[in-house]
A = this chain, B = another copy of it.
Amino acid sequence: MEKNHVVLIKCADQKGLIAAITGVLFRNNHNILLMKEFVEPETNTFFARFELSGELNTETLHTQLEDALPAGTRISINPKRKKDIVILVTKEHHCLSDLLIRYYFNELHANIKAVIGNHDILEAFTEKFGIPFHFLSHEHIERNDFETKLSSLIDQYAPDYVVLAKFMRILSPSFVAQYEERIINIHHSFLPAFIGANPYRKAYERGVKLIGATAHIVNNDLDEGPIITQKIIPVDHEYDVKGMIEAGHEIEKSVLADALKLVLEDRVFVVRNKTIIFN
């Protein structure tokens, strides 16, 4: 049976929540394909994710769940559909090309509506895949104005998510606030090690034996948002900085693709500065 809807529930924990939710689903004759739940102990918050097959009336189910659950419960009933994304890039291609290839072969679970670059290096490549590319230089322009133009470009596509695929500009808190929990970034280190610029140079200087990459949701603080996925690969003394950068590209694109898949399939909850991931 096919997954047709994902139902997400978040509320203060109390006894009987699963019974209440599954009671509503059973009385409506809905079939649960998969269910995951978790109670976050520090905030005592209940999180649950249900995959349902078959048809359903979203509004009716929403009302019934609302009636059955405590006031203040956040309920989200997401029909299976491809989400819309806009990708921001600078010069490096590897995360972008990975996403474009997945999109082209119908494996991304998302529509790439546009790519925006603060350099134009990746324009011709992007357009091979029939995706509009917008070049918006950050030079000779105030940061505020740059971000206003950037928002304006993004907003014309009304994307569900904005993906920073090695976009090497720092975004201001006010920009980020416009897309709360909707900006996904790839950082080229295993955070919190090597926050900020030139992490591979720092990794080389420190002589680490593992290098990593981290995909996270962007919030106000640079490289400090809730982490979705991380991966590492071993390195040794034969790696120079360039070798680390090349090796790192392999996991950066992989980590971003994994994180995006989780986000696009409605598997990621944020609580405080962490993620709960139902995969």
Asked if A237 is an interface residue, CB under 8 A from chain B, the answer is: yes
> Is the Cβ of B208 less than 8 Å from the Cβ of A191?
yes
Name the one of B23, B276, B277 contacting A19, with C-beta atoms under 8 angstroms: B23
Q: Which residue of B lies closest to A129 (CB)?
A: B128
Chain B residues, Cβ within 8 Å of A159: none
Asked if A206 is an interface residue, CB under 8 A from chain B, the answer is: yes
Q: Mark A25-41, 1 if CB is under 8 A from B, else 0.
A: 11001111111111111
Q: Mark A218-231, 1 if CB is under 8 A from B, else 0.
A: 00000000111111
- Chain B nearest CB, measured from A221 CB (Å): 12
Asked if A82 is an interface residue, CB under 8 A from chain B, the answer is: no
> Is the Cβ of A38 less than 8 Å from the Cβ of B194?
no
> Is the Cβ of A274 less than 8 Å from the Cβ of B237?
yes
Given contacts A194-B192, A208-B227, A232-B210, contact A29 B15 (CB under 8 A): yes
> Is the Cβ of B38 less than 8 Å from the Cβ of A18?
no
Interface of A: prevailing SS: mixed
Asked if A212 is an interface residue, CB under 8 A from chain B, the answer is: yes
Asked if A101 is an interface residue, CB under 8 A from chain B, the answer is: yes
With the chains together, A240 CA to B42 CA distance in Å? 10
> Is the Cβ of B26 less than 8 Å from the Cβ of A15?
yes
Q: Which residue of B lies closest to A270 (CB)?
A: B207
With the chains together, A207 CA to B22 CA distance in Å? 30
Q: Which residue of B lies closest to A92 (CB)?
A: B105
Chain B residues, Cβ within 8 Å of A232: 190, 210, 232
> Is the Cβ of A277 less than 8 Å from the Cβ of B236?
yes
- Chain B nearest CB, measured from A15 CB (Å): 6
Chain B residues, Cβ within 8 Å of A20: 26
> Is the Cβ of B38 less than 8 Å from the Cβ of A237?
yes
> Is the Cβ of B93 less than 8 Å from the Cβ of A105?
yes
With the chains together, A246 CA to B109 CA distance in Å? 13
- Chain B nearest CB, measured from A265 CB (Å): 12
- Chain B nearest CB, measured from A164 CB (Å): 18
With the chains together, A18 CA to B246 CA distance in Å? 30
- Give 16 new A-B contacts, CB below 8 A, not counting A41-B240, A191-B206, A250-B254: A15-B29, A15-B30, A18-B22, A19-B23, A19-B26, A34-B37, A94-B105, A98-B101, A190-B190, A190-B208, A191-B193, A191-B208, A208-B227, A208-B230, A236-B277, A237-B277
